[in-house]
């Protein structure tokens, strides 16, 4: 986690002309030509409007407002629309040449906000909610589903502009070609209906693909986590068959979805040729007069409409993918969050007030009276009749075989367990160190300072405390 010197982006000081034609980036391009490459410290700082905290705060506030407006049926899509605003639509209408660039910027910002919202939700999840989602599924939400908003925002303008183009083309064709234009109009409407139908089919198969993908990712995560057991019992062949079977089902669903995507592509790519063939073939059969001006006008309108229909198909494709991803992300955002028991808080406050009145009483104390505690209402496993008190200086060891409830007891003390019949009082502050280490891929030093400023004396104390100095 090496820190680099600040390098403000010249975009902040560039004029409108430079921002429009991207002249502000020429300094970095020239530097890359001189050096033959671009180093990390050559890159400019992130602009303030692209920072994860700011973007996530806006989306999170709109999501919380949506939860207040409609607690029974909240919509992540409405929260997204309020966050994005109407700027992308106006830009797509007025500045078509720069639309893709600016739409990409908006879409990247929304992807960052989505990923930040998912990350913050992970930090607030209760233990029960964490058990319902594997780490692989959360990674899939973060890397795959959150990316769908980026793809959708680039092409969503064509979902409303293409129908307007079709209506305009109907009037123009009717003006120049009279009743013969009904042939082109009918074929155009047919393609639009086919694209909509294929979109609905794609939603179904997209959902099926995501289910199988989650199953595969979860399976691979469990295999990697239990690799020692797999090697110990020689389960390589069985695991291989299991993974191949899941992957085969995933590929089959991808293939079926690709078939429908190909059908849609065929209709859009051959639109001009087929329409010309139908129109002028009909005119030839009816011995109608061919006019070169009519041919030129029809060619221009059909070429323009072909681009709109092609982008409409892409927009429908991205829409159905986003719809499936939005449901999964929204389901994840509605999971239960960890909240401290109010009775526990009041007990702490009450004890603190008594300690102020009587300073001779020690504030540190743990009182545990568990009649029954479990993760599920009617679960097979539950803690029963656990009663003890702990005072300063006490060392209490909880021993037992795997699955006997040692970790569940600690999570009951921290009020993370779902169903509790009894009372827990933790007076003063406490520290819970879980079994799983939090280590990222870097040096030992970076794992210890964890992004903070290096302090040699404090660092040496930590090294000695964890016996890494020998």
Across the chain, which distance is largest between two alpha carbons, in Å?
111
- Cα–Cα nearest to 201, from 311, 77, 324, 306: 324
Using an 8 Å Cβ cutoff, are 55 and 109 in contact? Answer: yes
Q: Which domains does the chain have, with CATH numbers?
A: 10-45 (no CATH), 125-333 (1.20.1560.10), 342-427 (3.40.50.300), 437-470 (no CATH)
The pLDDT value recorded for residue 358 is: 52
For the entire predicted model, the pTM comes to 0.60
Using an 8 Å Cβ cutoff, are 338 and 127 in contact? Answer: yes
The pLDDT value recorded for residue 244 is: 92
Distance CA 419, CA 412 (A): 9
Distance CA 359, CA 142 (A): 50
Using an 8 Å Cβ cutoff, are 361 and 421 in contact? Answer: no
The DSSP result for 238-274, as a single string, is: HHHHHHHHHHHHHHHHHHHHHHHHHHHHHHHHTHHHH
Q: For residue 424, what are the CA distances in angstroms to 126, 363, 373, 428, 433?
A: 18, 15, 11, 13, 19
Distance CA 149, CA 186 (A): 33
Query: Across the 470 residues of the chain, what is the mean pLDDT of every consecutive 10-residue run?
Result: 70 84 85 82 84 87 89 86 76 66 83 89 78 75 84 82 81 75 78 79 80 84 84 87 90 88 80 79 78 73 77 80 85 76 41 48 72 74 83 84 82 75 78 70 82 88 82
The pLDDT value recorded for residue 348 is: 42
- Cα–Cα nearest to 137, from 328, 324, 327: 328
Length of the chain: 470
């Amino acid at each position: 986690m090496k820190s680099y010197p600040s390098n403000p982006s010249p975009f902040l000081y560039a004029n409108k002309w430079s921002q429009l034609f991207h002249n502000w980036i020429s300094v970095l391009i020239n530097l890359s030509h001189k050096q033959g490459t671009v180093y990390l410290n050559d890159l400019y700082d992130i602009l303030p409007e692209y920072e994860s905290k700011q973007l996530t705060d806006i989306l999170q506030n709109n999501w919380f407002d949506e939860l207040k407006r409609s607690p029974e049926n909240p919509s992540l899509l409405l929260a997204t629309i309020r966050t994005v605003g109407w700027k992308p639509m106006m830009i797509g209408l007025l500045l078509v040449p720069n639309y893709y660039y600016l739409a990409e910027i908006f879409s990247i910002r929304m992807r960052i906000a989505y990923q930040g919202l998912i990350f913050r939700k992970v930090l607030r999840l209760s233990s029960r909610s964490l058990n319902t989602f594997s780490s692989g599924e959360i990674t899939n939400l973060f890397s795959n589903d959150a990316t769908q908003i980026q793809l959708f925002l680039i092409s969503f303008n064509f979902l409303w502009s293409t129908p307007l183009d079709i209506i305009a083309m109907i009037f123009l064709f009717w003006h120049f070609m009279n009743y013969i234009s009904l042939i082109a109009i009918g074929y155009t409407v047919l393609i639009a209906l086919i694209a909509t139908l294929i979109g609905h089919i794609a939603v179904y198969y997209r959902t099926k693909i995501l289910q199988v993908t989650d199953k595969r990712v979860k399976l691979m995560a469990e295999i990697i986590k239990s690799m020692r057991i797999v090697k110990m019992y020689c389960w390589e062949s069985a695991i291989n068959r299991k993974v191949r079977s899941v992957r085969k089902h995933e590929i089959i669903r991808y293939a079926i979805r690709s078939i429908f995507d190909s059908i849609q592509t065929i209709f859009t790519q051959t639109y001009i040729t087929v329409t010309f063939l139908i129109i002028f073939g009909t005119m030839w059969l009816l011995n109608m007069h061919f006019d070169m001006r009519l041919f030129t006008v029809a060619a221009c309108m059909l070429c323009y409409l072909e681009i709109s229909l092609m982008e409409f198909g892409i927009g429908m494709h991205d829409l159905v993918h986003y719809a499936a991803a939005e449901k999964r992300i929204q389901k994840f955002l509605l999971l239960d969050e960890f909240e401290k028991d109010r009775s526990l808080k009041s007990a702490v406050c009450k004890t603190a007030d008594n300690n102020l009145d009587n300073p001779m009483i020690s504030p540190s104390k743990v009182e545990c009276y568990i009649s029954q505690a479990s993760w599920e209402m009617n679960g097979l496993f539950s803690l029963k009749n656990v009663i003890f008190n702990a005072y300063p200086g006490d060392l209490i060891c909880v021993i037992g075989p795997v699955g006997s409830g040692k970790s569940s007891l600690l999570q009951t003390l921290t009020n993370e367990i779902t169903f509790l019949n009894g009372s827990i009082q933790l007076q003063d502050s406490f520290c819970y160190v879980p079994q799983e280490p939090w280590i990222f891929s870097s040096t030992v030093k970076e794992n210890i300072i964890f992004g903070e400023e290096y302090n040699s004396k404090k660092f040496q104390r930590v090294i000695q405390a964890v016996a890494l100095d020998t």
